[in-house]
Amino acid sequence: MKMTRAKFFQWIMLGWTDIVLEYRRTKIGPLWQTLQVIVLTAGLVVVFGGMRRGIENFPAYVLCGLILWNFISITIIGGGRVFNHQAGLIRDTTAPLELYIVRELTVFTIRMFFQMVAYVLAIFVFDVTINWYILCFIPAIAVYIFTALWLMPMVGIWITRFPDFGPFMQAVMRFLFFLTPVFWGPGGNSMRQYLYLYNPFTHFLNIARQPLLGQPPDAQSWVIVLIFTSLGAMVSGLLYMRKRDFIVYWL
Amino acid sequence: MTASIIKIKNLSLLLPVPRLHQHTASKGDAVGGRFFTNRQGRTFVKSLDGLNIDIHAGDSIGLVGNNGAGKSTLLRVMAGIYRTYKGDCEVRGGISTLFTNSMGLNNNGTGMENMLLMGRLLGLSNKQIEEVLPGMIDFCELGDYLHLPMRTYSAGMRTRIGFAIATATNPDVLLIDEVFGTGYVAFRKSRGAHQCHHR
C-alpha cells in the first residue's frame, strides 16, 4: 500500500475519533484525563512532600513528571497490547499494521495533551517559571513520539508472541514508576543517586520536564536519550522487518 | 476471454502453531489440515498445499469445503493478510474484504461515524469518502438509524453497515466469508464487483 501524507493524516484522524467515542457518554469528556493527573499529583505531593529536598516548585515538578511518565508507561503497556487490541481488524481487513500503531499512538498523545491542561493551570497556581527554555519541550516531545513509534511495535511483537510479557511488563512499569525520579530528585543516599544516573527514563524525563519548569536543557541527558532511541529504533526496525508477517498468526 | 484477475500457482501455506512443540499425529478422518513438524521442532498446520486457481474478471466463485478445509485461509492469502506462503498469488486491482459482521465497528459510534471510520481505515481520503458516502447511505437502507449508536443495532443492521463499507470502494475483488443469512439480500444487491465468497 502506498504511503501518502493524506493517508497518514487519516490514520491520525482515526485516533482522534477513538478519543471522541471513548468519552462520548461522559459530561466533561477528555478533561477527565486532566482531573485524573491532578488528583494523583495532589496525593503524591501530600504523601511524599518530605522528599522535595532541593526541588523548586515541588507540585509542578511532580505534575510534569507524572504527565510524561503516563505517556511513557502507556506507550509501553498499551503499545504492547496494540496488535491484540486490534486483532479483529488485523485479521479481517487489508489495512497495514502501521496504521494501528499510528492510530493508538495518536490516542496516547491526545491524552497527554489533555493532561497538559493541568500544567497550564499549574503555571498560574504555583507560579511556574516560564522562559525561552520552554522551546526545548518541542524537540523533546518529538523524541518521545519517535521513541514510541519504534517501542510500540517492538513490545507489541513480544507480547503478541509471548503473552506472559503482558502482565510482566505491567509489573515492571509499576516498579519503574518508583525507581524513576517522577516524584523525587537527585541526592539523598547513594542508591538513589545511582538510580537517578543509570536509569534511561530519568533522562527521558529530564529532557522534557526541565524546559517546562524553566530550566536549561541537560546536555548529558539529551546525548543519552538520543543514543538510546537511535539504537532502539534500529533493533526494533530489524525485529519488525523479520516478524511483521507472523504477527497475524499469533493473535 | 478476459484476463485473469486472481492467479494462484502452486500455492502452499503452513500456519504456525505457537507453543505446540510436540507433534501430535492427527488421525486420518479428522477435519482440518495435517500437522507438520519441521527440523527445528516447530509445528505447523499444512492448510494449503499445491493450489492452482485462475479467476477472471466477472466471475462469481463460491468455495465449498469441510470445516478447516482452508476456505477462510485462502481468502486471507488473497487479501494479503497471510503473507508467508510459498508459490505465487497475484491479485490485480483493489481488494475489499467482508469476513465478519462486526469488523472493528465501534458500538458507541453511530452507523454514519462507523462508515467514516472504516473508510479512513481502508485508505480513502476525505474527498473519496465524501464521494462514496451517498452511495453507502443508499445501499444500507438504514435511514434515521444511521444516527443512532451501533450498540442499538440488530445483527442484520450491522451486516448492512459492513456490506456498505466493503462495497463502497467499488473494489475489483470482493472477498466474503460467512456473513450470510441476514446479509444475503444486501449481498444480492451489490453489483459491479467481482465476488468470491463461500457459505
pLDDT in tens, A141-162: 999 999 999 999 999 999 999 9
Order the strands of the B194-198 sheet from edge to edge.
B60-63, B194-198, B173-177, B95-98
Nearest to B99 among A11, A92, A246 (CB): A92
End-to-end alpha-carbon separation of chain B, Å? 28
Q: Which three cell numbers stand for residue A20?
A: 471522541
Which 3 state secondary structure label does DSSP give B194?
strand
Tell me if A94 and B113 make a contact (CB, 8 A cut-off).
no
pLDDT-derived band at B156, boundaries 50, 70, 90:
confident
Residue B113 has pLDDT above 50, yes or no: yes
Minimal Cα–Cα distance from B113 to chain A, Å? 9
For residue A116, count CB atoms less than 10 angstroms from its CB and return exposed for 0-12, middle for 13-18, buried for 19 or more.
Answer: buried
A-B C-beta contacts closer than 8 Å: 77
Tell me if B99 and A245 make a contact (CB, 8 A cut-off).
no
Residue B111: count other Cβ atoms within 10 Å of its Cβ: 26
User: Residue B197 pairs with which residues in a beta bridge?
Assistant: B62, B176
Residue B127: count other Cβ atoms within 10 Å of its Cβ: 8
pLDDT-derived band at B196, boundaries 50, 70, 90:
very low
What percent of chain A has pLDDT above 90?
81
Mean pLDDT value across chain A: 92
What percent of chain A has pLDDT above 70?
99
pLDDT-derived band at B94, boundaries 50, 70, 90:
confident
End-to-end alpha-carbon separation of chain A, Å? 22
d(CA A163, CA B145): 40
Q: Say what the pLDDT of residue B195 is.
A: 46
Contacts of B102 in chain A (CB under 8 A): 88
Tell me if A91 and B108 make a contact (CB, 8 A cut-off).
no
pLDDT in tens, A216-242: 999 999 999 999 999 999 999 999 999
Q: Say what the pLDDT of residue A188 is.
A: 72
Contacts of A86 in chain B (CB under 8 A): 104
Q: Say what the pLDDT of residue A109 is.
A: 97
Helix (H) or strand (E) holding A65, with range, is helix A58-80
pLDDT-derived band at B191, boundaries 50, 70, 90:
very low
Distance set, CA A113 to CA A19, A31, A75, B21 (Å): 12, 10, 14, 46
Average pLDDT for residues A100-105, to the nearest whole number? 96
What number is the ipTM of this complex?
Answer: 0.84
pTM of the model: 0.90
Residue bearing cell 485524573: A36
Q: Does A19 touch chain B (CB under 8 A)?
A: no
